[in-house]
C-alpha cells in the first residue's frame, strides 16, 4: 500500500496515521500532515483507494468531483480498507513509538473502526461519516478519543451518534456543517476549523507527547 510520509521514519517521534477524506490524499490532507510533522510527529497518510482502478480525483475544481469521490468510496471494500489501515498502524507501532490515529469524514469513520480492532494510543475523528453504522464498536474503542461534529451536519445524525460515544471527548460546533475543516469554500467554517484544530493539537500533545 503506497503511503505519503512526513518526518523521519527512524526517529523516536510519536507516529500518526492520517486517514483521508473521500477525496483521497488531497492537498488539504497533505497540509494537515505537514502541520502535524512540524509539531514533532512522524506522519503517514496511506492511499486507501490503492486497490481500485480508475480513481481520478486530482482536479479539485472539477464540477463533478464530489460525485466521483462518492462513487469511488462506494466501490471500496470497507473490511479490506480496515485491514490495510491496521497494517499501517502496526508499521508505526512496530518502531517502538506511541501512535495516534486521525481521520476526516470517510477517514474519521475508518479511523474509529481501526481503533476498535487495533491498539492506538489516541484517536481523533472529525465528523466520521460511517459512524452511524459503527456504533456497535464503541465499547471496543478503548484509546483516549476526541470527536468533532458540526451541529448543522447534513450527513451525520449527530444527536444519535454522540450519546453512543461514552467516555470520549466530544465537541460540537454550532452552525458548522459537514467537512467544516476542509478549506473548500463549499464546506469550510473558519471558526470551527480553527478551534477544533487547536483542540486536536492539544489532545495529541497530551496523549502522544505527554505534554500538559
3-state secondary structure 120-179: CCEEEEECCCCHHHCHHHHHHCCCCEEEEEECCCCCCCHHHHHHHCCCCEEEEECCCCCC
Q: Which has the closest alpha carbon to 87: 138, 12, 19?
A: 19
The residues annotated as belonging to the active site are 105, 153, 178
Q: Which has the closest alpha carbon to 74: 63, 84, 64, 66?
A: 66
Amino acid at each position: 500500500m503506497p503511503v505519503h510520509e512526513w518526518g523521519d521514519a527512524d526517529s523516536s517521534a510519536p507516529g500518526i496515521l492520517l486517514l483521508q477524506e473521500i477525496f483521497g490524499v488531497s492537498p488539504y490532507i497533505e497540509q494537515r500532515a505537514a502541520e502535524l510533522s512540524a509539531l514533532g510527529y512522524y506522519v503517514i497518510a496511506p492511499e486507501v483507494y490503492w486497490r481500485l482502478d480508475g480513481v481520478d480525483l486530482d482536479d479539485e475544481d472539477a464540477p463533478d468531483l464530489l460525485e466521483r469521490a462518492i462513487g469511488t468510496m462506494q466501490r471500496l471494500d470497507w473490511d479490506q480498507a480496515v485491514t490495510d489501515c491496521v497494517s499501517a498502524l502496526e508499521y508505526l507501532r512496530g518502531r517502538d513509538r506511541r501512535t495516534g490515529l486521525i481521520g476526516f469524514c470517510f477517514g474519521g469513520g475508518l479511523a474509529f473502526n481501526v481503533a476498535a480492532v487495533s491498539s492506538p494510543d489516541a484517536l481523533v475523528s472529525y465528523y466520521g461519516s460511517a459512524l452511524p453504522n459503527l456504533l456497535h464498536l464503541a465499547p471496543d474503542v478503548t484509546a483516549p478519543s476526541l470527536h468533532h461534529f458540526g451541529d448543522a451536519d447534513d450527513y451525520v445524525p449527530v444527536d444519535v451518534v454522540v450519546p453512543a460515544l461514552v467516555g470520549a471527548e466530544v465537541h460540537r460546533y454550532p452552525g458548522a456543517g459537514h467537512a467544516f475543516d476542509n478549506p473548500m469554500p463549499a464546506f469550510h467554517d473558519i471558526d470551527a476549523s480553527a478551534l477544533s484544530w487547536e483542540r486536536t493539537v492539544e489532545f495529541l500533545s497530551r496523549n502522544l507527547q505527554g505534554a500538559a
